[in-house]
A and B are shown apart, each in its own frame.
Chain A
Amino acid sequence: MNLRASLKMLGPLVALLVVYFGFGISEPAMFNRTVIINILSQSVIVGIAAVGMTLIIISGGIDLSVGSIIAWTGVIAAFLIDQSLSPILVFLTAILCGGLCGFLNGSLSIWLRLMPFIVTLGTMQIYRGSAKIFTGGTPINLPFDETRYQLWMGGTGFPYGIFLLLVICIFTSWILHYTRFGRHAIAIGSSPATARLCGIPVLRTQIFVYVIGGAMAGLAAMMNVAKSSQGDPTTALGLELDIIAAVVLGGARLTGGQGSVIGAVIGALLMTCIRTGCVMHGIPTPWTEVITGIIIIIAVVVDRLRQRHTLC
């Protein structure tokens, strides 16, 4: 199990190193401390959300509403900060709000017997619209003298957000592999019918998976607010695709049963690394998009080929 898990991570890690050193050889500034911090901190938002998404995808689901949850929770958090609520309460509310959104996603797909793809396609619009209604469409700026949140995503040293991502990543990976709940989630993703026959509480586990996914999106929203000092109802548009791409790059199968939390974080780092590398090289933005797309496809194909050889 452990050998397999670490093998699973090896693929994305190799891809990350190849891309990073590839850019680094022609532009040594890539090895600077600042650039490394940039890559790490720009991966925090996608990374945290991708950890939650990995759980969801492993259990056979999907959450398209994650970008909207980040926007919706973000505007609520910014509103509360504006009302000078203490940071701990703001963080808790954001996690709770994200968790509730996740609960709605999970319970709707179960009670209405709809595919999560369809349910979250709907809630994606609902959460996004709610954010726009709540703010009247314009971003809520944090008070200009509010600096407590900036340390999470900025400041001179390593932003706290990076450590948060690390802790979440390790903790969730442990949950997935060493707790009953984690194993249940994997079993449900592999075969829901078998899981049910084995006496696994399928519905409860599935809902809980979505709640965790939503809570992670809530934390990602806090990081987004901390980063841009505002709650923007249009932020994170299309971010769900970046997040899903990170999870897939990390070795997950969209059909469920397989995936790696650490791999997903590496996937997020890989995409940020490409973006940062392209800017550092002065490569025009449209080319960055093409390059990102090509690397995503190559990385996943290589990973699949390698798995066929080593595991089967």
Chain B
Amino acid sequence: MRIFHLTKIASLSAICALGLGCNSTTKDEKRTRIVMIPKGTTHLFWKSVETGAKQAAKEHDIDLTFIGPQREDDRSQQIDLVTNQAQKNDAVVLAPLDRVALRGVALQVAQMGKPVVIIDSSLADSDSFITSYIATDNREAGRMAARKIAELLDGNGHVAMMRYLQGSASTEQREEGFLEEIKKHPSISVVSSEQYAGATASQAQDTATNLLTRFTRDGKLTIDGIFTSNQSSTYGMLQSLRAMSHAGNVKFIGFDGDASFIDAIKKKEMQGTLLQDPARMGYLGIKVAYAKLKGEPYEAIIDTGATMLTLENLEQPDIADLIQSQVP
């Protein structure tokens, strides 16, 4: 009996030793697993984030999972995704749908000792536990839009801003930045900023049509400038302006990229759209998470920048590259 036990223990420890041996040799080969959780997967924007992330994953041979909630306002599904994916991955890169709702679950992951990198939208009161915040300086981007509209209007006129969705930190910051900057021009008045476009382009188009109708007198628009703060609201506004034959009669600055925005800029129906650099955001998100895991240096806050796309700079090579990265 005893001998049997001994042999059992011996063989067990041999297996253990073997196992350990194997482990120590394969440890370096075991691929780092990182999950990136975007706000949604359907907007073109997230496609380019994914492209950038894939590139970084390729460079460092990372096992990348890219998975997002089905709709861009489903906070609870995103919370579940973070919880589930954190079990299987070494680090989480997250674009939070809500700056407060996602805080608790992000904190939990950080307390498990796994790096949390926040991209695109900020998370409330999170400096102490997140690894890094990588995003467009959205407030500044909003200010850029306001400066451009003020310049186009020579500093006076009526302006309308159509918001995107409540609770979406990145677009709210753009909207605030826009309102802040436009206030510096006393002869420009904001006649509407209380309407939210809603989650889909189709809803945005209805809201835009009603808004434009409100500011139409005798077939003419009484507003001189329009700002919309994301891709779907810009698309809806553009479609509505075209359908009501107002396109080109009003200075219109949008946000994000789409083939139809480029077309509209060429036709002078839009005077500009702000392009972020989603591919860079995705790329750096993975890079920083990897650096943290490997104990390499990284920056705590990275601004990936916004670029105003206009008719004048459309053909510049660096801008063309940026467009290429996010407009199919």
Q: Which residues of A contact B (CB under 8 A)?
A: 29, 32, 34-35, 38, 42, 128, 132, 137-139, 141, 144, 150, 153-156, 224, 227-230, 232-237, 275-276, 279-280, 282-286
> Is A279 a contact of B195 with CB atoms below 8 Å?
yes
User: Which residues in chain B, 202-226, are within 8 Å of chain A measured between CB atoms?
Assistant: 202, 205-207, 209-211, 213-214, 216
Given contacts A138-B42, A141-B259, A227-B205, contact A280 B213 (CB under 8 A): yes
Closest 3 CB pairs of A and B: A154-B243, A279-B210, A285-B196
Hey, what's the 0/1 contact readout for B157-173 against A, CB within 8 Å counting as 1? 00000010010000000
Pairwise interchain contact B213-A38, C-beta atoms closer than 8 A: yes
Measured between beta carbons, the chain B residues less than 8 angstroms from A137 are: 41-42, 47
Instruction: Please list 11 pairs of residues, one from A and one from B, whose beta carbons are closer than 8 Å in the complex, sorted by A's number.
Output: A38-B210, A141-B260, A144-B263, A153-B243, A154-B243, A228-B205, A234-B71, A234-B200, A236-B202, A280-B214, A283-B194
B42 touches which of A42, A227, A233, A280 (Cβ 8 Å)? A233
Could you tell me the distance in whole angstroms from the C-beta of B247 to the nearest C-beta in chain A?
12
Which chain B residue lies CB-closest to A283?
B194
Residue numbers in B under 8 Å from A284 (CB-CB):
194-196
Considering the complex, give the chain A residue whose CB is closest to the CB of B194. Answer: A284
B200 touches A285 (CB 8 A): no
In the assembled complex, the CB of A198 is this many whole angstroms from the nearest CB of chain B, namely 43
The answer on a CB contact under 8 Å between B209 and A42 is yes
Chain B residues near A150: list those with CB within 8 A.
243
| Binary contact track B256-293/A, C-beta < 8 Å → 1, others 0 | 00111001000000000000000000000000000000
User: Are B263 and A227 within 8 A (Cβ)?
Assistant: no
Chain A residues within an 8 Å CB radius of B206: 42, 275
Q: What 0/1 readout, one digit per residue, does chain B (227-247) give for beta carbons within 8 Å of chain A?
A: 000000001100100111100
A165 to chain B, nearest CB (A): 16
Chain B interface residue number, banded: 35 or more
Q: How far is the CA of A35 from the CA of B209 in the complex (A)?
A: 9
Say yes or no: is B186 at the interface (Cβ < 8 Å to chain A): no
Interface centre among B211, B214, B244 (most CB of A within 10 A): B214
CB A150 to nearest CB in B, in angstroms, measures 7
Please report the C-alpha to C-alpha distance between residue A237 and residue B42 in the assembled complex, in whole angstroms. 13
Contacts of A153 in B (CB 8 A): 243
Taking CB atoms, residues of chain A closer than 8 Å to B81 are none
Closest chain A CB from B237 CB (angstroms): 12
Contacts of B245 in A (CB 8 A): 156
Contact A280-B202, Cβ < 8 Å, known A155-B243, A285-B195? no
Q: Does B199 contact A (CB under 8 A)?
A: yes
Closest A-chain residue to B71, C-beta based?
A: A237
Apart from A228-B201, A280-B213, 14 more pairs, CB < 8 Å: A34-B213, A35-B213, A38-B213, A128-B70, A138-B43, A141-B258, A141-B259, A228-B235, A230-B235, A235-B202, A276-B210, A279-B195, A284-B194, A285-B198
Interface centre among A232, A234, A286 (most CB of B within 10 A): A234
Chain B proximity of A283: nearest CB distance (Å):
8
**Which among A32, A132, A155, A279 is the interface contact of B207 at CB below 8 angstroms?**
A279
Nearest-CB distance from A19 to chain B (Å)? Answer: 15
Name the interface residues of B27-58: CB closer than 8 Å to any CB of A: 40-44, 47
Query: Once the chains bind, are B210 and A232 in contact (CB under 8 Å)?
Result: no
B295 at the interface (CB under 8 A from A): no
Residues on B with beta carbons closer than 8 Å to the beta carbon of A144:
260, 263
Q: Is the CB of A224 within 8 A of B213?
A: no
The answer to whether A138 and B200 touch (CB under 8 A), given A144-B263, A285-B195, is no
Q: Which residues of A contact B200 (CB under 8 A)?
A: 232, 234-237
Taking a contact as CB atoms under 8 Å apart, the answer to whether A232 and B202 are in contact is: yes
Q: Closest CB of chain A to B43's CB: distance in Å?
A: 8
Residue of A nearest to B219 (CB): A34
Nearest Cβ in chain A — how far from B178, in angstroms?
A: 17
B192 in contact (CB, < 8 A):
yes
Would you give the shortest CB distance from B273 to chain A, in whole angstroms?
16
Are A282 and B210 neighbours in the complex by a CB distance under 8 Å? no
Q: Which residues of B contact A235 (CB under 8 A)?
A: 200-202
Interface status of B328 (Cβ within 8 A of chain A): yes
Closest residue of chain A to B259 (Cβ to Cβ) is A141
1/0 contact string of B172-200 vs chain A (CB within 8 Å): 00000000000000000000101110111
Q: Please judge, given known A-B contacts A236-B200, A237-B199, whether A138 and B194 are in contact too, CB under 8 Å.
A: no
